[in-house]
Amino acid sequence: MQRASQFIGESGAFLDAVERASRAAMLNRPVLVIGERGTGKELIAERLHRLSSRWDGPLITLNCAALPETLIEAELFGHEAGAFTGATRARQGRFEEADGGTLFLDELATLSSAAQERLLRAVEYGEITRIGSSRAIKVDVRIVAATNEHLPELVEQGRFRADLLDRLSFEVVTLPPLRVREGDVMVLADFFGRRMAAELDWPDWPGFGAMATEAMKRHSWPGNVRELRNVVERAVYRWDDPDRAVDHIVFDPFESPWKPQPSKRPASAQSPCDDVIDAALADSGVRATLDQTMNFDNVDDLRGAVDAHEKRILQAALARHRYNQRQTAKALGLSYDQLRHCLKKHDLLN
């Protein structure tokens, strides 16, 4: 199937974002697409291109985070032969390749300051200069950029140019995460399930059982649509009876009773999270070690020691289950409400 056919959903939040992108498509202006990983930013960029007057021109994509800082400018603007070590011949950059079409810059926030400055000139004046050349080249390119960062905050921190943000933010399309797209989880799950069943040559699509449906509705989907697709396709592929509704879902493919145990780190390799836990233990007045066992000889406050140990267990369990509270509650043998009570008690609710 074509990638565009995966661009589906029926929730109001999702349709509003699609409508905004569709309206902006016909205007020859830059558009910023904001959203968490896996929400479909590249699909929105493709829609902006296909619905524009540039639909028959090239759609060129560059992931700004995929290249080192030393190469990103050469990749964007091209270079002349001998411009730097290894540049044996002249090469067009992505701007020249996208002439007459659309350039999609993914992970925009990772651009270096120098690349941001050159990008600003390209957007402002419609011309670029290859590295190693003094001759400006006119280009007719529409910029669509995407990021999962809050760019105004990066401007305040001095990590992103305010003038470049002003030029690129004619329209900003913010994609909602899957967890707030009411009803879309099962719409998408059914779509991906049917497609996987067809790939496996199942005679019919039996759908999902009650347990699988409930599990998917309750999951928080930190990886959004990309994660949902993997979960559904894996569930269908592992299901051995095509005549019965798929009723077993595995969210974490790495979960196994035989998975390797993490190696112990030296004390010098403590993470910032460990520092937070150390501070919490110190504040409680409990002098306990951060190994798997506590130094009971130094406990002089039983209630404080128990509370600190309980908090540490909750923090470790939440991290292990990617902060999915329902999975954490199940793993700890608690009800969802009991876990919420414990998290509130230890000030772990965000």
The pair of three-digit structure tokens given for residue 221, joined into one six-digit string: 């989907």
DSSP states along 312-325: HHHHHHHHHTTT-H
- Which residue type sits at 144? V
Please tell me the predicted confidence (pLDDT) of residue 189. Answer: 97
Cα–Cα distance measured from residue 176 to residue 221, given in angstroms and rounded to the nearest whole number: 12
CATH of 181-238, one of 1.10.8.60, 1.10.150.120, 2.60.260.20, 3.40.50.620: 1.10.8.60
- How many residues are present in the chain? 350
C-alpha count within 13 angstroms, C-beta hemisphere, residue 190? 10
> How far, in Å, are 6, 276, 281, 319, 350 from residue 273 at the CA level?
38, 5, 13, 10, 15
The pair of three-digit structure tokens given for residue 102, joined into one six-digit string: 């659309």
CATH of domain 3-176: 3.40.50.300
Task: Report the relative pairing of strands 127-129 and 136-138 from DSSP bridges.
Answer: antiparallel
Sign, CA torsion 242/247/252/257: negative
- What CA dihedral angle connects 74, 76, 77 and 81, to 10 degrees? 30
Domain ranges for the chain: 3-176, 181-238, 267-345
Supply the pTM of this predicted model: 0.70
Cα–Cα distance measured from residue 174 to residue 167, given in angstroms and rounded to the nearest whole number: 17
Cα–Cα distance measured from residue 41 to residue 177, given in angstroms and rounded to the nearest whole number: 11
Question: pLDDT tens string for the chain (350 positions)?
Answer: 344 445 789 999 999 999 999 999 999 999 999 999 999 999 999 999 999 999 999 999 999 988 887 788 889 998 888 777 777 788 899 999 999 999 999 999 999 898 999 999 999 999 999 988 889 999 999 999 999 999 999 999 999 999 999 999 999 999 999 999 999 999 999 999 999 999 999 999 999 999 999 999 999 999 999 999 999 999 999 999 999 999 999 999 998 888 887 765 554 444 444 443 444 334 333 333 334 445 556 667 777 777 888 888 888 888 888 788 888 888 888 887 788 888 888 888 76
Rg of the chain on CA atoms, in Å: 26
Cα–Cα distance measured from residue 168 to residue 171, given in angstroms and rounded to the nearest whole number: 8
Residue with tokens 């035989």: 258
Q: Name the nearest CA neighbour of 178 among 2, 299, 10, 348.
A: 10
Query: What is the Cα 282 distance to its own chain's centre?
Result: 35
The pair of three-digit structure tokens given for residue 131, joined into one six-digit string: 């590295």
The pair of three-digit structure tokens given for residue 293, joined into one six-digit string: 């066992």
